[in-house]
Amino acid sequence: MTWTINNKFSYPKSMRSVINGSRHYDVNGDKYVSVTSILSSTKNQKDIDALNKWKKDLGYAAAAAVSKQSSERGTSMHSWVEAILLLRANGELLDEVNLPKKMAETIVENGINNKISEVYACEAVLYYDGKYKFAGTADAIVNTSDNKIKILDFKQSNKPKRREYSVITEYGHQLALYSIAHDKMFGTNIESTEILMCTPNLMFQNFEFKGEEFQNLKKEAMNRVEQYYLKKKNNSL
Return the CATH number at 208. 3.90.320
Mind listing the pLDDT tens digit for each residue in 113-153?
999 999 999 999 999 998 999 999 999 999 999 999 999 99
| pLDDT of amino acid 207 | 98
pLDDT of 167 strictly over 70: yes
Task: Report the sign of the C-alpha dihedral through residues 170, 173, 175, 177, in that order.
Answer: negative
Those residues with Cβ within 8 angstroms of residue 36's Cβ, 6 or more apart along the chain or in another chain: 23, 136, 174
| pLDDT of amino acid 54 | 61
Segment (H or E) for 40: helix 35-41
Query: What percent of the chain is predicted at pLDDT more than 90?
Result: 74
pLDDT of 191 strictly over 70: yes
pLDDT of 8 strictly over 60: yes
Q: Give the separation between CA 13 and CA 215, rounded to whole angstroms.
A: 28
| Overall domain count for the chain | 1
Domain of residue 100, residue span: 4-233
Reported pTM: 0.92
Q: What is the mean pLDDT of the chain?
A: 91
